Amino acid sequence: MNSIEALKSEFNSQIAELGNIDNRKISDKCIYVGSGDSYAAGLFTEYLTDHKCRCYSPSDLSNSRLPRDRTYCFVSVTGKTRANIEVAERASQAGAKTVAITFNENSKLAQVCDKTVHPKIKRANTPTAGFGSFVANVVTCLRVAGISVPKKFDGWYKNAVKLSQNLFESMILPDDTVFILGNNMLYPLAIYTSFQMAEFFGFAAVAHKLEEFCHSPIFGLKKTHNVWVLGQKEEHVYKRISKLEGRQISYFELYNEDIISQIFESIFFVQNLILLMAEKNGYTELKYLMVKDVLKVSSDIIYYNEAIR
């Protein structure tokens, strides 16, 4: 089974397990710390709690004082990310409560933290962290902050698949950079989408908030670039950007008055849309797996390979 087929299989099977996640509340003032997809997972909770909980990349906290009266939740599928482990060690030394949200309960991160929370689904055998692992981390981050997540995954999945199937035929795979725009709850989705686009197709994908994109990045927009607007009744923004002739602008209406439904339907939408685009364009393997030199540099930095010291 090739890497994209493995992810497609996982996308379709993840629904059966997500309803099993029942982790308990730990604190309604968590500080989530994570990199990549894990950062995006924690950021959903920050927005849903009106920033009562906060989310940071470990690099944001590398030189910061870590107050002992907060609960730090370190999100990492593998539990091996060097930067997470270093901040977790500092937080523990400062006397703060530390929690590892990880699939690897025997990892260095789990050993450093006071408590380990497993997302309670089986991690799929995929070359990336996986679609299901990301959704499970989102659910777990919400539940750890005391936010109830109804077991409606099957319905959210079906709605998302239908929407992505309705839209993907009109989608053109970018030849160059794609800017992915989203406000509020859709900003972490834009971040997640940018990571998936880079891993699947190997081109630059950059996430921005809608208005911030118009403050400066829009001036770097070339005719070879694409713009995806993840919208919540913000089609007026799309129409204004579309006045720029020769640019490929796409708009996805993802509004749902139930914010929890919006989160999970929009995640499933992005996952299936990218799978459909990969199939349509003949991709069978994730592009990032094919650039071995880049992959090695990435791994050496993330996991701090001792050989490079």
Model confidence over 163-209: pLDDT tens digits?
999 998 888 888 889 999 999 999 999 999 999 999 999 989 999 99
Which of the two residues, 126 and 210, has the higher pLDDT score? 210
Do 16 and 134 fall into the same domain?
yes
CA-based Rg of the chain, rounded to a whole angstrom?
A: 19
pLDDT at position 160: 98
Is the pTM higher than 0.85? yes
Identify whether the C-beta of residue 38 lies closer than 8 Å to the C-beta of residue 77: yes
144: alpha, beta or left? (left if phi > 0; alpha if psi -120 to 50): alpha
Cα separation, 236 vs 218, whole angstroms: 16
Of 121, 144, 167, at which residue does a domain stop? 144
Do 177 and 120 fall into the same domain?
no
pLDDT above 60: residue 305: no
Model confidence over 105-150: pLDDT tens digits?
999 999 999 999 999 888 767 767 789 999 999 999 999 999 999 9
Structural domain tally of the chain?
2
pLDDT above 70: residue 307: no
Of 115, 144, 173, at which residue does a domain stop? 144
Does a structural domain hold residue 301? no
Do 126 and 165 fall into the same domain?
no
Does a structural domain hold residue 296? no
Q: Tell me which of 34-43, 88-97, 298-307 is least confident.
A: 298-307
Do 159 and 285 fall into the same domain?
yes
Does a structural domain hold residue 270? yes
Mean pLDDT for 269-291 is: 93
Does a structural domain hold residue 300? no
Do 101 and 170 fall into the same domain?
no
Does a structural domain hold residue 14? yes
Do 102 and 172 fall into the same domain?
no
| Neighbour-count burial of 202, counting CB atoms closer than 10 A to its CB (0-12 exposed, 13-18 middle, 19+ buried) | middle
pLDDT at position 308: 35
- Considering the chain, what percentage of its residues have pLDDT values greater than 90? 78
Q: Give strand pairing partners of 99.
A: 73, 115
pLDDT band at 80 (very low <50, low <70, confident <90, very high): very high
Does a structural domain hold residue 262? yes
CATH classification of the domain holding 278: 3.40.50.10490
DSSP string over 162-190: HHHHHHGGG----SS-EEEEE-TTHHHHH
Model confidence over 238-267: pLDDT tens digits?
899 989 888 889 999 999 999 999 999 999
Do 104 and 20 fall into the same domain?
yes
Q: Which helix or strand (DSSP H or E) is residue 69 part of?
A: none
pLDDT at position 306: 42
Do 140 and 161 fall into the same domain?
no
Do 7 and 139 fall into the same domain?
yes
Structural domain that includes position 179: 153-289
Name the residue with tokens 């005719």: 223
Do 138 and 166 fall into the same domain?
no
Does a structural domain hold residue 308? no
Nearest to 271 by CA among 142, 130, 173: 130
Which of the two residues, 125 and 236, has the higher pLDDT score? 236
Do 201 and 268 fall into the same domain?
yes
Does a structural domain hold residue 304? no
Do 157 and 136 fall into the same domain?
no
